[in-house]
Amino acid sequence: MNKAVYIAPEDQDEVDLGWMREALVMAEEALDNEEVPVGCVFVRDGKAIARARNRTNEWRNATLHAELEAIDHLLPFNPPPLSQITLYVTVEPCVMCASALRQVGIGRVVYGCGNDRFGGCGSVLDVSTSSMLDTNVSFEAVGGYYREEAIMLLRRFYMSENQNAPNPKKKTTRVLKTEIPPPPNVTVSASTSANASATASANQSKNPSRSNSNANLPLPIGGTLASTPKGTLTPTADKA
C-alpha cells in the first residue's frame, strides 16, 4: 500500500517552494551531465548548508545519489542527529537514502515527485516512519512540491540514450509525454499540512529576508557548502 504523503498545492508554503527551486537547479545540472536528474539542498535556520546532485555515472558508483553525496560533505561540520535540518530533494528518497537519512536523524524531508520503484518514504517502503526500525527516530516526509517539474526532468532524461548503461537502448522513436497523472494520495490530512506549514514558517521567521513577497525570485546561494567531486577538493563553506 502506498503510504506517501503529498501536500496539496494550495497548502504548500512559499519558503518550501523556494528551496525546492534550488533543488531543481541541482537536478538540471545533473541532467546536463547525463545523470539521473535528482538534486537536493539541506537547510538549517534558513540557510543552505549543503547541496548536491546525482553522480553515479560520473564516478561509476551506484551509491552516489544526491542525498548521500551531500551527507558526505555535511557530517564533518554537522554531527548527527540532524534534527534541526530539512532536506529538499526533487524525487522521493530511495530505500537506501531514506535509511541513511533516518540513521543521521534528519528532521524533515520535502520532495517533489514520488519514487514508484524504489521510494523509501511511503511509495514502496515506509522507512521514514516504520516502527520496525530502531535506527534513530522517524522523520516527516511530504511530497508534491514542484512535482510536475521533477517528473518532466526525469522524462527528459529517459528520452535520451544512456551510454553508461550496460546495453544502451535506442530511443529515437520515443515521444516526450507531457500529461501527468495526479499523485496516488490526493487527500492530505489537515494536521499534516499544518505541521508542514508551521515548520516552514518557523524557518522563515529565523530568516526574515526570505519573505513571501520575494518567493518567486531566485534564492541566493550564499552560505552553502557546495558539493564537490570526491578526492579533488576540500569542501569549504562559501561566503554569503
CA torsion sign for 183, 117, 34, 48 is positive
Q: Is 171 exposed, middle or buried (0-12, 13-18, 19+ CB in 10 A)?
A: exposed
Q: Is 161 a catalytic residue?
A: no
3-state SS track over 161-188: CCCCCCCCCCCCCCCCCCCCCCCCCCCC
Catalytic residue among 22, 67, 92, 140: 67
3-state secondary structure of 72: helix
3-state secondary structure of 111: strand
Supply φ then ψ for residue 46, to 5 degrees. Answer: 80, 10
CA distance 84 to 105: 9
Catalytic annotation, residues: 67
